[in-house]
Structure 1
Amino acid sequence: MKLISLIVVFFISNGLNIANAHNHFPITTVSKLMIERGKIAYENNCVSCHMINLSGAENWKGVDSDGHRKAPPLDGSGHTWHHDDKTLHAIIKYGLAKLVKNYEGKMIGFEDKLSDKEIDSVLAYMKSYWSKENYEYQLKLN
């Protein structure tokens, strides 16, 4: 009987966690306010590597003087739109080192600097630069 009670409590508590989870995908470009907030967060946190116009580092497919891959463009001309929102959100939040074994690049996480909503806003801002085709393709990944 105790075992059954523990199992019931486990499923109820996990069900509540799932029900209370912030379901923020897919991220769209519908809200102009969200895009503006994303632009501010991007300019304060991302522009030093990914550039002011989201174009990424020059010759971004190569490596820098430290041997690390350069920052890719986020404007739709690179591969960003090939990934679903959950993956993109996790990369921004946690950095690639926590997601890719043996990663030794420069993409750090921003979980101490940006809230989930701010990360979502950055993604909306990025998507506002993408072509209609890339945007619609990426939405289907979610």
Structure 2
Amino acid sequence: MASAAPAPSRKRLAIWISVGILVGGVLIVSSAYYMQTSRSPGINSGSRKQIALGRAVYEKHCASCHGARLEGQANWQRRLPSGRMPAPPHDDTGHTWHHPERVLFDITKYGVVPPHAPPRYQSNMPAFQSVLSDDEIRAVLVYIKSHWPAKVMEWRAEALKYLEQP
């Protein structure tokens, strides 16, 4: 009978070890997720210097289509006679803020191509891969984001928190 008493304590020990492993696993996965999502292309908030660079690059390469005030082209939601879409606004009236950082970066760098558009999609949006450095692209996106109101940034964070998982 004396040997029967230790069994419950072994069982409890096994349960506590299992719980510890489970909690540890959750912490490791959560930490890995946090570290990965914080490494999106570096388009979160920017310094004044980065915003100033973004503004200069935007004015030179983007404003002619997307507008000096990020307002986009008129009737941007209706196709042009060519069948292509007008340049959308990048302010809070458009849909730019709906997209994850990686999508915005890729579209700016490579153009509107798969996987961010259907195959053979026709767009007037050029690829800036051979024109702008990655840092300049990031700066433009930081500049654009610097114009979004706090409420849009809150909505965006809530909407995108599941899309930017690794």
Same-fold call, TM cutoff 0.5? yes
Match status 1:107 vs 2:128: no
Query: How far off its partner does 1:86 sit?
Result: 0.5
What CA distance in whole angstroms lies between the structure 1 residues aligned with 2:40 and 2:47? 13
1:95 matched to which residue of 2? 111
Give the one of 153, 156, 161 matched to 1:138: 156
1:125 matched to which residue of 2? 143
Give the one of 86, 102, 107 matched to 1:70: 86
What CA distance in whole angstroms lies between the structure 1 residues aligned with 2:108 and 2:140? 9
* Contact 1:76–1:127 under 8 Å retained in 2: no
For residues 46-61 of structure 1, the aligned pairs below 5 Å read 46-61=62-77
- When the two structures are superposed, what TM-score results if normalisation uses the length of structure 2? 0.66
Query: How far off its partner does 1:62 sit?
Result: 1.0
Amino acid at match of 1:136: E
- When the two structures are superposed, what TM-score results if normalisation uses the length of structure 1? 0.77
Query: How far off its partner does 1:98 sit?
Result: 4.8
Query: How far off its partner does 1:41 sit?
Result: 0.6
Amino acid at match of 1:130: W
Query: How far off its partner does 1:137 sit?
Result: 3.4
1:97 alignment partner, SS class: coil
> How many residues are aligned here?
120
* Unaligned ranges ≥5, structure 2: 1-38
What CA distance in whole angstroms lies between the structure 2 residues aligned with 1:65 and 1:138? 32
Query: How far off its partner does 1:32 sit?
Result: 1.3
For residues 12-23 of structure 1, the aligned pairs below 5 Å read 23=39
Match status 1:43 vs 2:59: yes
1:91–1:26 CA distance, 2 compared to 1 (3 A): same
Task: Give the alignment's Cα RMSD to 1 decimal.
Answer: 1.7
Amino acid at match of 2:136: E
* Contact 2:73–2:89 under 8 Å retained in 1: yes
Query: How far off its partner does 1:30 sit?
Result: 3.8
Greater Rg, structure 1 or structure 2? 2
* Contact 2:41–2:102 under 8 Å retained in 1: yes
